[in-house]
Chains A and B, each alone.
Chain A
Amino acid sequence: MKKLILLFLVAGCSVERGASDWEPQQFSDAGPDLMVGVDGGIGEGPGAGTMDGTWLLLHEGSTCVINAEQLTHAWYVVDIQQDDRVLTESRTICRVDLSPVLGLRVIIPPAAIDSIDFVDIDKGFVSDLRVGGSYSSSSELALWGLELANPVEDEVPGDATDPGVVDGDGDGQPGVTFNVENSTCQRFQGQRQIIRYSGKFDAPNSVIGTSVNLTDVKVYGSTEALCGIAPPVISNDNFSRFRMVRIDGAGGAINLDANADGTISCEEASQVFDQVMEFRAADNNNCKR
């Protein structure tokens, strides 16, 4: 009797698994694509979730030349590839403005700018893309009229006949040729500049910070003696700063790709050169030690 009842219960009262009518849940990538919105202002937008893309960097470098501050404003288009937290940066320098020293303003002609050779020696880093996150650039090593076997460690040649000195801008003169404002005086020089930028995100599409600058200059001649003077250039990093903003339209940023060819030229970026950061005037007090 017991066995019969047990058998009946087991056979007839077993539980059947039910089925739910919940549908599978699918979401498209809700990351960066969701964040691409209409073009915003300089540095605006919610961010793309990556630094991949094209940025515009304005560097206001401070140096001291004979106790006078010289400000160098340089605009770069920076193409960045982010791999995890490591950044591979490719820079194109668009324009360099120097403030006058001792009443003389050096003008860097476009041919000289175009001749600048950027050398990749390391990578940049980003810790966090949120506001407050840290950014450290790769080292910007630029050789002006020079070709050095070891671009970091070799000394900048002091003799124009040294094989490391080249006619960078193709004007028949050693190194690159700088002009002096309101003057026909030209200076022929070689220059190595190493800059590293460190900053924080003040907005998802904007990084502000400071820089460390190393500049070695050797003059190989000039058309006039006065503009051939090359006093020591001393880094004044406490007063150097930069701002880098995204300009490729990703993450709600402004899109300066006017011809929609997928790349942003210096000419396209130049539309906003004066909007990236407010300039300040050179202040010799910054060079008093």
Chain B
Amino acid sequence: MTGKKRSICSAVLLGLLGSSTAYAGPFDLYGAGARGSSMGAQVADAQGPWAVYYNVGALTEAPVGATVGAFATHNGAQILLMDRPEGYDIPAIDAANVAPATDSEKNPRSDTDGIDPMYGLVFGGVTSLGTTRFRLGFVAFLPTQELLGLPTHYNDERERLFSNKLKFELIDQHPRRFDAEAGVAYRITDWASFGIGGTFLTGADVATDVYLQDPTDQSDIDINADVHTVNRWGLLAGLQLRLPQHIQVGVAYRGPVAFRISGENRLQVSGIADDAEQPRQQLDWTPKYSPGSLAVGLAWQAGDYRLAADAKWVLWSDYRDTHSQRTTFDDVLQTRLGLEYTYSSDDKLRVGVGFDPSPIPEQDGRTNYVDNDRVLASLGSSHQVLLAGAGFEFSWFLQFQLLLTHETLKSRNIVPCSASATSLCDEVPDNLVNPRTGQPYPEAQGAQIGNPGFPGYTSGGWIGALGAEVTF
């Protein structure tokens, strides 16, 4: 049984203005550049180096120069777990292959109250290489706390033996990484430009050779590691058309990119017969993932007003979770609407709104992928100033994203736990036999569910970002 309820706050926040685009990298979640983060819709009308992210074809419009900025996030995101009904705890059964008892969990089941803030620097640059129709540009996000955090988590009952919490699947750890993108664009005609580029993310192939002298003393092991980073590129491509009546159209494609760690631990255990196969442990994590997407945008200049709209089809159906497991996420359509008002020759005011539906289907079964539909609102401005005879543009933005409150209730369809189970699962088989008595354990009867998401949870709150930059 599941249900959804929308927060009344959505109506209020829709009254505010602002926006962003698809999420998973830092730019994906909060936008790239002060203009993009405050307007949202940029595919037809991206400006400066940030065109590399939104529509690399629009890079031909960018003036040569550089941008430096800073960026910070804050949030009030929460996942509140519903109280567990009595009688479903994992009992203390002294038998092999039985999940550890609820009483012996390392961490108590607890709510998720907020996600760590993120701070970083942004950089961008454009060069023409002395031409008029060609541009080369790059943008980058550099987190100041850590370059790359790579935590993983389970989205089912297994997590109770670790954090025993639920995680925001897409807005917490995935954006917390460096982002580097570069592209080139060429103005084919006076009204059409095309660009191509790449977004970069590393990966790793990992192998460890482990020697265990005494299987009863696993604190004393010898380990050699063989780690190789792997460069992974996501394709960027874009087309910008400048039509009559001050209308611009953009089409942009972003390929998926992921930080995937794969490999194996090769164990040598002393005492295992020479002809016996030594154990191997497979490793496969995908702690960072940005989906592929296809976006179209429209921009229209009407006097001092510039109106822009984007629609972006985000391919979440290819998503792998942090343990590289396939999911049943949906592809979703994200929308943005932005307005830029030029109220003087040196000053512009920007606002935007948007809506990001969650790609995650109802989690009434075994898994607890947590995400919310989001309503985005943002504002910002830019100001041209002269310093020491040189022209600078100072821009800022403030962005709010409301996580529409979502209530998840687990279905009563309970199956025995197994690797292929998709329904909420019973972690202690009813037919588990007490080796001393030969009889089933009374405490194993019925369902024993340690899944931290059981019997349900509510997620919601808000996330926000504030940033400023200087272009020269």
A interface with B by C-beta (< 8 Å): 2, 5-6, 8-10, 12-27, 29-32, 34-35, 46-50, 84-85, 126-131, 133, 201, 204
Contact = CB atoms under 8 A, between A and B. Distances in A.
Contact of B456 (A8, A18, A30, A84): A18
B439 A32 contact: yes
Most buried by A among B8, B81, B456: B456
Given A9-B462, A18-B82, A25-B88, A35 B439 contact: yes
A12 B435 contact: no
A27 B438 contact: no
B439 A27 contact: no
Contacts of A46: 439
B159 to A, nearest CB: 19
A201 B437 CA distance: 11
A128 B437 CA distance: 6
A22 B440 CA distance: 25
A246 B446 CA distance: 30
A13 B447 contact: no
A229 B87 CA distance: 71
B9 A9 contact: yes
Contacts of B76: 9-10, 13-14
A234 B398 CA distance: 100
Main secondary structure of the interface of A (DSSP, over half): loop
20 contacts: A9-B76, A9-B462, A12-B8, A12-B12, A13-B76, A13-B461, A13-B462, A15-B80, A15-B458, A16-B80, A17-B458, A25-B86, A25-B88, A27-B442, A84-B436, A85-B436, A127-B436, A128-B438, A130-B438, A133-B435
Most buried by A among B1, B436, B458: B436
Given A9-B9, A27-B445, A15 B405 contact: yes
B154 interface: no
Contacts of A30: 440-442, 444-445
Nearest to A127: B436
B27 interface: no
B16 interface: yes
A222 B78 CA distance: 96
Instruction: Please list the 4 inter-chain residue pairs (A to B) with the smallest Cβ-Cβ separation, ordered nearest first.
Output: A25-B87, A49-B439, A20-B455, A49-B437
B434 interface: yes
Contacts of B434: 49
A208 to B, nearest CB: 16
A31 B437 CA distance: 9
Most buried by B among A12, A20, A46, A128: A20
A17 B438 contact: no
Nearest to B441: A31
Contacts of A131: 438
Contacts of B87: 24-27
A127 B459 CA distance: 50
Contacts of A18: 80, 82, 407, 409, 456-458
Contacts of A6: 464
Interface in B73-101: 76, 78-83, 85-88
B45 to A, nearest CB: 26
Given A128-B436, A201-B438, 16 more contacts: A8-B12, A14-B76, A15-B405, A16-B458, A17-B81, A18-B80, A18-B407, A22-B410, A25-B85, A26-B86, A26-B87, A27-B445, A31-B439, A34-B440, A129-B436, A130-B435
B458 A49 contact: no
B272 interface: no
A5 B433 CA distance: 59
Given A9-B462, A10-B76, A128-B438, A17 B446 contact: no
Contacts of A85: 436
Contacts of A9: 9, 13, 76, 400, 402, 462, 464
A9 to B, nearest CB: 5
A20 B437 contact: no
B440 A130 contact: no
Contacts of A8: 12
A5 to B, nearest CB: 7
A246 B434 CA distance: 19
Contacts of A130: 433, 435, 438
B287 to A, nearest CB: 26
B7 interface: yes
Contact of A20 (B8, B409, B439): B409
B460 interface: yes
Interface in B406-444: 407, 409-410, 412, 433-442, 444
B445 to A, nearest CB: 4
Interface in B1-24: 1, 7-9, 12-13, 16
Contacts of B81: 17
B85 A24 contact: yes
Nearest to A201: B438
Nearest to A13: B9
A15 B457 CA distance: 11
Given A15-B460, A25-B446, A30-B445, A48 B439 contact: yes
B398 A2 contact: yes
A20 to B, nearest CB: 4
Most buried by B among A15, A84, A85: A15
Contacts of A35: 439
B414 to A, nearest CB: 11
A281 to B, nearest CB: 35
Contacts of A27: 87, 442, 445-446
Given A8-B12, A13-B460, A25-B446, A19 B83 contact: yes
A2 B437 CA distance: 67
A32 B441 CA distance: 9
A23 B82 CA distance: 13
A49 to B, nearest CB: 3
A13 B464 CA distance: 13
B90 to A, nearest CB: 13
A92 B462 CA distance: 78
A27 B1 CA distance: 24
A78 B224 CA distance: 62
A14 B436 contact: no
Contact of A12 (B9, B85, B446): B9
A32 B412 CA distance: 28
B442 A31 contact: yes
A24 B434 CA distance: 25
Contacts of A17: 80-83, 458
A34 B400 CA distance: 59
A82 to B, nearest CB: 9
Interface string B221-247: 000000000000000000000000000
Contacts of B12: 8, 12
B80 A19 contact: no
